[in-house]
Amino acid sequence: MDINIIDAHTHVNMMDPTQRSAVMQRALDGGIGVINVGADELSSRDAVALTQIYKEGVWAVVGYHPHEAQKDLNMESLQELARDTRVVGIGECGLDYFKLDKEKEDEIKEKQKVLFESQIVLAHKLKKPLVIHCREAFGDTIALLEKHKDLLLPEAGILHFFTGTIEDARALLNLGFSFTFGGLITFNRSFDEIISHIPNGRILVETDAPWVAPRSHRGQQNEPSYIPEIVESLALIKCTPLSEMKGVLLENTKRIFNLKF
């Protein structure tokens, strides 16, 4: 199989089960590899299940999203799942302070931090990169990562759909992180500046499907087969020839997630 592009962060595992095989096949037929990311135990299991259906071009990332922090979570079953060789990262984990319940704000933030730290430790133990979700919480996210700097891999992982500032990006680059960008960059110019500050070697593309489809499919359900449009936008923003951009993105994804194919 010829994989030319990899959707580095997507959730076919969260789509309606009746849709999944057609969506996966459309991606693979287009030479598009897929990394399905979990957010809770069920979606993590489903991400791993998808790797078992396809011989090549499909990987999983397993973990607990910060929205799960209020629940009673089983870290042992996550660890078991994460040992699978087709599991190439831990996440999506991180901090999400968007629209927190004001009355419980401090308690929720504390719980999110504990959950995030336990996954930083797990990633270290299994030597797999982190896939980080961070929304309106860059200060605390960077502080936690700096505190656990010694646990990070040289290729520490990715900040998925990065919305931080140039200073945030600099701190995260110094810690060994890379960044994914998705459908928004095809119709919203407010990410162009931050993208221009991140070296080509530290950028990946994602669809984060089924959410935020690129321009030509706006309002529809997103899927990995739409990733070429995001790559085209990125090449324009980076003033890099499309074929070169594709090559760099593929190399970055293979290197960071240690993909063998």
The binding site for Zn ion (CB under 5 A) comprises: 92, 133, 208
Distance, CA of 187 to CA of 185 (rounded, Å): 6
Query: Considering the complex, what minimum distance in angstroms separates the CB of residue 137 from Zn ion?
Result: 12
Query: Considering the complex, what minimum distance in angstroms separates the CB of residue 133 from Zn ion?
Result: 4
Task: Identify which of residues 235 and 253 has a Cβ nearer to Zn ion in the complex.
Answer: 253
Instruction: Give the chain's largest Cα–Cα span.
Output: 53
Task: Identify which of residues 208 and 223 has a Cβ nearer to Zn ion in the complex.
Answer: 208
Task: Identify which of residues 156 and 235 has a Cβ nearer to Zn ion in the complex.
Answer: 156
3-state secondary structure string across 43-57: HHHHHHHHHHHCCCC
Query: Considering the complex, what minimum distance in angstroms separates the CB of residue 239 from Zn ion?
Result: 28
Distance, CA of 6 to CA of 57 (rounded, Å): 8
Q: Using CB atoms, what's the residue nearest to Zn ion?
A: 133
Query: Considering the complex, what minimum distance in angstroms separates the CB of residue 242 from Zn ion?
Result: 26
105-126 vs 138-147: helix crossing angle, rounded to 10: 40
Task: Identify which of residues 131 and 142 has a Cβ nearer to Zn ion in the complex.
Answer: 131
Quickly list H helices, the chain: 17-29, 41-53, 75-82, 105-126, 138-147, 166-174, 192-197, 227-237, 242-256
Task: Kindly compute the dihedral angle of the four CA atoms of residues 130, 47, 252, 113, in this order, to the nearest 10 degrees.
Answer: -20
Query: Considering the complex, what minimum distance in angstroms separates the CB of residue 41 from Zn ion?
Result: 16
Task: Identify which of residues 208 and 235 has a Cβ nearer to Zn ion in the complex.
Answer: 208
